[in-house]
Amino acid sequence: MEPSSAAPLREMWYFALWGAALKRGRMLAKTLLGEPLLLGRGTDGDVFALRDICPHRGMPLSCGAFDGREIECCYHGWRFDRSGRCTAIPSLVPDQEFDIARIRVKRYPAVEVQGNIWVYLGDDPAGAPPVPVLPDIGERGPDLYEAVRFPCAIDHAVVGLMDPAHGPFVHRAWWWRSRRSIHEKAKAFAPAPFGFTMLRHAPSANSNAYRLLGGKPETEITFRLPSIRIEQIRSGRHAVVNLTAVTPLGDGESEINHAIYWTLPWLGLLKPLLRPYVRAFLRQDRDVMVMQQQGLRYDPPLLLINDADTQAKWYHRLKNEYARARAENRPFVNPVKERMLRWRS
C-alpha cells in the first residue's frame, strides 16, 4: 500500500464553480477544503473569493448584500470591497479614532478560465501547478457542464477517475460497455507536468460513443495534481475535450465537476440527448462510491495491484511528493517514469 495523507493538498488551484452559475453583481457561498468561501462576480464581470466570515462578529458575509462593488454585512452593516478591505463601519461616530483600513477579510486568488472559476487554497501560487488551459477550444465556456457530489474524501474520488478496471462492471450500458467487451489493453504512459499522460491512442473499438465523431478518433488523457483529468479526443479537424476536476468540499464530501467542450457545431443539437448520458455515467460512479463507503468506514488496508492500479499508485506518489516539496521549499520532482501498462478491462 502507498503511504499517504488523506487530507487534500493545499497550495493548489481547485475548480470552485462553473462560471455561468455566478451572474454579474451576485455572490454565493461554497465550502472548499472545509473553508467557507464567498464567491462573487463584480459588475465588471471579474470574479473574486473571500473568506465568508465577517471579522466583526463572525456573520457569514454571504448573508449580507452585494451591490456589484462592495459587500455589506447583514448584522451591523460593515462594508468590504472585493479585495477584502473594510471600507465602512456605520456605527463609528465622525471623530472617533479608528483605522478601518486595518480590517481585512482574507482574500483568495480567483480566476476564470474557459468558463470555469478556480480558487487558490494556499498562500503562494508560484510553484503550484497552473490552472489548466484546455487545448483546441480557445477561451470560451463548456458546451456541457455537470456536477455530482460524492460522499467520499478526495483520494477515493480521484482514484475512481483513473481506475481503468471498473468500467465494464460499473458503467455497463448498451451504448458503452458490457462485461463481454472486456479485453486486454496496453497503454503507453509518460510523465507530464505535475502528473502523467496516457499517450495518444485509438479509443477501444467497444466505445461506441466515440464513433459519433466519425473519422479515426484518437484520444489522449492527462492527469495533473491536485485532481484534474483532461481527455482530448481528436478526429480529423474536430476535437472533443473533457475536463474532470474533483473538488474537496469538506467532511468527506467531494464534488466531481465535468465540463465538455467540442468543436463540432452539430453536436450542440444533441445536447438534450447527451446530458442524460453524462448524468447517468456520473451517477454510476457516485453510487458505487456510496457503497464503497460502507466498507471504508472500517478503515481496511487497501491492496493496489499492478498494472490496473498503477495510476492510483502514481497519484499517491505525486501527492506525497508535492506535499513534501512544498514543506521543504524545494522544486517538485515528478516521480512518474515512462511506462507501458497492461490490464484487462
Q: How far apart are CA 71 and CA 63, in angstroms?
A: 10
Among 21, 28, 75, 343, contact with ligand FES (rule: CB under 6 A): 75
Our CB check for ligand FES shows the closer of 59 and 199 to be 59
Contacts of 188 (CB under 8 A, 6+ apart): 198, 199, 201, 338, 339, 340
* Distance separating alpha carbons of residues 247 and 43, to the nearest angstrom: 27
The listed partner (Fe ion, ligand FES, none) that binds 343, CB under 5 to 8 Å by sort, is: none
What, of Fe ion, ligand FES, none, does residue 16 touch, CB below 5 to 8 Å by kind? none
Task: Give the one entry of Fe ion, ligand FES, none that residue 285 binds, where binding means its C-beta sits below a cut-off of 5 to 8 angstroms depending on kind.
Answer: Fe ion
Query: Which listed option, ligand FES, Fe ion, none, makes contact with residue 153 (CB within 5 to 8 Å by class)?
Result: none
What one-character DSSP code corresponds to residue 265?
A: G
Using DSSP bridges, classify how beta strands 218-224 and 107-108 pair: parallel, antiparallel or unpaired: unpaired
Q: What is the closest distance, in whole angstroms, from the C-beta atom of residue 66 to ligand FES in the complex?
A: 14
When asked if residue 225 is in the footprint of ligand FES (CB under 6 A), the reply is: no
Distance CA 17, CA 38 (A): 11
Q: Which is nearer to ligand FES, 73 or 152 (CB)?
A: 73
**Nearer of residues 57 and 183 to ligand FES, judged by Cβ:** 57
For cell 470591497, the residue is 81
Selected binder of Fe ion within 72, 112, 231, 285 (CB under 5 A): 285
Choose one: 72-80, 101-109, 120-128, 223-231; the region binding ligand FES (CB under 6 A): 72-80
Q: Which amino acid is at 57?
A: R
110 near 121, Cβ under 8 Å? no
Return d(Cα 204, Cα 220) in angstroms, integer.
12
Site residues for ligand FES, 23-62, by CB under 6 A, read 54, 56-57, 59
Alpha helices in the chain (DSSP H): 154-161, 167-170, 271-296, 310-327
> Which residues form the interface with ligand FES (CB under 6 A)?
54, 56-57, 59, 73, 75-76, 78
